[in-house]
Chains A and B, each alone.
Chain A
Amino acid sequence: NAGVTQTPKFQVLKTGQSMTLQCAQDMNHNSMYWYRQDPGMGLRLIYYSASEGTTDKGEVPNGYNVSRLNKREFSLRLESAAPSQTSVYFCASVLAVMNTEAFFGQGTRLTVV
């Protein structure tokens, strides 16, 4: 049982390049989330998917798009990377909203030069 799996673990991009961060969970969870973590900060929500087929913006959505491909997979896309998007990205999932425990992937460390 792998839990929440993110790929890649590390990535370096040039400004203007695009890439997709992949996230998959095998816990049959309904809701999935993308957060970013910057130095000295807690995690901030980028986008979330409350259930398969729905996505919505979080606190810091600018410069990102998401796709809930199916119940297991939730991807985050950077269309034109900027240095301000240098961060560590975490995917999380919960069985259902309210009163349930969240589980996180191992993170993707992204550097945009």
Chain B
Amino acid sequence: GIQVEQSPPDLILQEGANSTLRCNFSDSVNNLQWFHQNPWGQLINLFYIPSGTKQNGRLSATTVATERYSLLYISSSQTTDSGVYFCAVEDWRGSTLGRLYFGRGTQLTVWP
């Protein structure tokens, strides 16, 4: 299966700071999603972004499929942004179509 690597593994910020999270994947994919897992464990869809750039409020994401990476930007961070951010990709050639391969996540802590 596809290998997904996320960096950094941990990130500590003061409220108001900006950050960039990175997701590298080992082969071409047809689907990439970013999730936020909040402190209660819930997985929240942030972006479905196989390629290109999308923005949603203070968050934006860019996927460069040809270079096998995606970036998640968080601007003017807030304490509610704390949690784990996961990148997940789907390998269209895999035997398990629709299966997502997850990275290990970036643990983000935002202090007031």
Which residue of chain A has the shortest Cβ distance to B107 in the bound complex?
A: A40
Report the tally of A-B residue pairs with Cβ distances under 8 A.
Answer: 70
Interchain CA distance A99-B97 in the complex, whole Å = 10
**How many angstroms from the CA of A59 to the CA of B91 in the assembled complex?**
14
Q: Kindly list chain A residues whose C-beta atoms are within 8 Å of the C-beta of B111.
A: none
Determine which residue in B42, B90, B96, B98 has the highest number of CB atoms from chain A within 10 A of its CB, and name it: B98
> What 1/0 mask marks residues of chain B from 1 to 38 whose CB sits below 8 Å from any chain A CB?
10010000000000000000000000000110101000
**Range class of the B interface residue count:** 20 to 34
How many Å from the CB of A27 to the closest CB on chain B? 12
CA distance A106 to B43 in the complex (A): 7
Residue contact B102 to A43, C-beta cutoff 8 Å: yes
Which residues of B are interface residues toward A (Cβ below 8 A)? 1, 4, 30-31, 33, 35, 41-43, 45, 48, 50, 86, 88, 90, 92, 96-105
A selection of 24 A-B contacts at a CB cut-off of 8 Å is A33-B99, A42-B86, A42-B104, A43-B88, A43-B102, A48-B96, A48-B99, A58-B99, A59-B1, A88-B41, A90-B43, A98-B30, A98-B31, A98-B90, A98-B92, A98-B98, A99-B30, A100-B31, A101-B31, A101-B33, A101-B45, A102-B88, A104-B45, A107-B43
